[in-house]
Amino acid sequence: MADLAERRRVFHRLHETGCFVIPNPWNLGSARALVRLGFQALATTSSGFAWSTGRADNRVPLQDALAHFRLLADGVSVPVSGDFEGGFATEPPAVYANVALAASTGIAGLSIEDSTGDPEHPLFDFTLAVERIRAARRALDGSGTGILLTGRSEGFIVGRPDLEETIRRLTAYAEAGADCLYAPGIRNTSDITAVVKAVAPKPVNVLVSSDFTTVPELAAVGVRRISVGGALARTAWTGFLQAAGEIAKQGTFTNLARAVSSAEITKSFGEV
């Protein structure tokens, strides 16, 4: 599946039927390990990547994010979708320009979210949010790449857990050209089902960052795609911080005994 055009076709087909998990690596090593485990597609995580560079989420410069997309897309044989945050811009023309840049990195998908980063006004105004998705759609169409566009509404993770407003936004994003719809933070089965029905027949992505559900349960209500966001990166950081904290505070090394071997880690990358 090394051919880029074929990877993009595969990515679209994955969204047509059934339900698949698209896990979120934070660097090339974790990406290759996930491919080795059999996952058919990957998605970057803005938080996981930011932490790996010593930054908080949403603090990575545009050029670094583009380089990260290119590294992962070039480094694995499966489709990679890019978490493009808010497009690294506010106004639609700038979103258009940045998405056009992202389209040249080799990714198969790209997401645009509607959060502002401002706690007082955490979501872009409705009309502006829709125009931003429309701008991203135009940029991708103009690139001729066939990149799949995901429209994200962030209300449930920025303090605005309003299902009716979330559905209004996702429906509008679908009409503006988003191929897949995504409202991170929705966990209630009835809420997830309502979103799936509202945007049908377009596919829905659900974020699973804890053990509140299973793949079969989400598949049963019509979810097409499941991502884990920064959860795998958080899991890795948990082990690191526990082991390092023990050494620093207690002078003991018991956590190191729980680690997998170097050979097992190397084997997880497959042929490189």
Q: Tens digit of pLDDT for each residue in 185-216?
A: 999 999 999 999 999 999 999 999 999 999 99
CATH H-level, domain 4-230: superfamily: Phosphoenolpyruvate-binding domains (3.20.20.60)
- pLDDT of 224 > 50? The answer is yes
pLDDT of residue 1: 44
- pLDDT of 21 > 50? The answer is yes
Q: Which two tokens stand for residue 195?
A: 């979103």
- pLDDT of 2 > 70? The answer is no
State mean pLDDT over 26-40. Answer: 98
* Domain map (residue ranges) of the chain: 4-230
SS3 content of the chain, % helix, strand, coil (to 5): 50, 10, 40
State mean pLDDT over 162-178. Answer: 98
φ, ψ of residue 43 in degrees (nearest 5): -135, 140
**Angstrom distance (rounded) from CA 120 to CA 116:** 10
CB-based burial, 131-148: b 16+ in 10 Å, e otherwise: bbbbbbbbbbeeeebbbb
- pLDDT of 270 > 80? The answer is no
φ, ψ of residue 204 in degrees (nearest 5): -120, 135
Q: Mapping DSSP to helix (H, G, I), strand (E, B) and coil, where does residue 1 land? A: coil
pLDDT tens-place string over residues 89-102: 999 999 999 999 99
pLDDT of residue 195: 98
**Angstrom distance (rounded) from CA 74 to CA 76:** 6
Share of the chain above pLDDT 90, in %: 97
